[in-house]
Amino acid sequence: MARMLGAAALVLLSASSVFAQQGSECGLGKQCPLNKPCCSQYGQCGVGAFCLGGCDPLNSHSLDACVPAPVCNSNDYKFTSLDGVTPNTKYLGDASESNWVSSGTPELHDDAVLLTLSEAGESSSGTLLASTSYVWYGKVSAQMKSSRGQGVVSAFILMSDVKDEIDFEFVGTDLRTAQSNFYFQGITNYDNGENLTVRSSTFDDYHTYEIDWTPTQLTWSVDGATQRTVKRSDTWNTTTNRYHYPQTPSRVMLSLWPAGSPKNGEGTIAWAGGLVNWNAQDPATVGYYYAQVKDVNVECYPTPDGANKKGSKAYIYTAKSGTNDSVAITNDDTVLKSLLGTGTDMDADYPKASTTGTAATAAATSEVATVPGLTGAGPGTNGHPGNDGNDGTTGEIAGDPGSGVSTADEPSSTGIGGFSQGNIAQSVNEAASPKERGLQSSLFAALIAVLGLLVL
């Protein structure tokens, strides 16, 4: 346990160092400008995909810059095909047409999706699947096999747009352990992590990992056996006078990534068991490392007591606190017309270049980042504008470091049911300890952000 927490501390210090060196456009109270109003989970500003899943409302230009998030949808997602998986360069927010948004290279094998990690190519930074619908309390399970080998880490987590997080993580050198963790708004607490025992190899055998998340209690189970329980009542923080408990709508995320890349810090590499060995059995035999996910089951729980319910289609944030009492359920639309859209301009479309004067406008518009890691935009263009606004070519890769939480002042709590946060006199960052302020990003979020730098 102490070893895991020490490694986690080194990882986060390494990630924070990278962020400081590279800088980020938004996060830690720094908000995006009006012309690219949405703050991605990687700390960069843009439009389009920046404003969809993972858009940080607290550090975007305004709360409504982020597109409303699709509400929870109870379902059993079996990966017998990739029909429900859409690349992040094409997804526009319609959760009825896609179940998952991907980056990297997901593959299909034996009725399971493979999350791949290769030495070069599209999956050189790993593969990530994120659910298109959010979960605001519920029971979520994944039947999966982890990857194996030094330097590779598999993950099954819930993460909200304000960095509330609940984790299962698997280090490829320890195939009998699942690491559990949780975070409130990305604030680091080294006491939150705990190792869980798995009865057989996490690589060779399918196991079912389950997160049972209610407004009052959080439970991790492995193969039907409860291994850890955290009560909300035990997470009260006397410094911030609030519960440091995950409490906001979250996406289900599945990933495989190279924590042991030589471009990462020593702490990250040590936690991952060493540098990635590209001559190991899996990359040498099939060309990549891989984790396998056969099934994800989502059971949505009823809307929490005291919730601000104005509809049934989407979640939005109404205040800078980023706590459960700042979430509202509305009937707002969740779908952009194109990757030039934002939450405040859902119908923005790529301009046609067929009339005089519009070519210059199109060229200028194409400079706005629309997909984290890519440049350019336009409907049906794989994230990049074409000469006529309909056909595009591949653009350049750009790194996306960093993420953080708002320093804006927060309103007092409503005190309704489980939504009470106590007497809030100041913001999270203002009241947080120096160590908390210095490391305002979770283990998974920090490392995923570092991955954005690997493509540079």
In the annotation, is 165 catalytic? yes
| Identity of the amino acid at 58 | L
Catalytic residue among 97, 107, 122, 165: 165
In the annotation, is 169 catalytic? yes
Please report, for residues 176, 327, 384, 425, the alpha-carbon distance to residue 361 in angstroms, rounded to integers and kept in the order given.
56, 37, 15, 47
Contact 3, 433 (CB under 8 A): no
* Helix and strand numbers, DSSP H then E, in the chain: 7, 24
Enter the tokens of residue 349: 């479309």
Please report, to the nearest 10 degrees, the dihedral formed by the alpha carbons of residues 323, 324, 329, 333 taken in order.
30
Catalytic residue among 25, 107, 119, 169: 169
- DSSP string over 260-326: T-TTS-HHHHHHTTSS--TTSHHHHHHSSEEEEEEEEEEEEPPPPTT-EES-SSEEEE-STT-SGGG
Under DSSP, is residue 125 helix (H, G, I), strand (E, B) or coil? coil
Task: Identify the burial level of 224 via C-beta atoms within 10 angstroms of its C-beta, where 0-12 means exposed, 13-18 middle and 19 or more buried.
Answer: exposed
CA-nearest of 306, 272, 282, 253 to 414 is 306
Strand partners, 116: 290
Cα separation, 224 vs 329, whole angstroms: 32
> Which residue carries 């909300």 as its tokens?
232
> Which residue carries 């794989």 as its tokens?
382
DSSP state of 168: E
Q: What residues act catalytically?
A: 165, 169
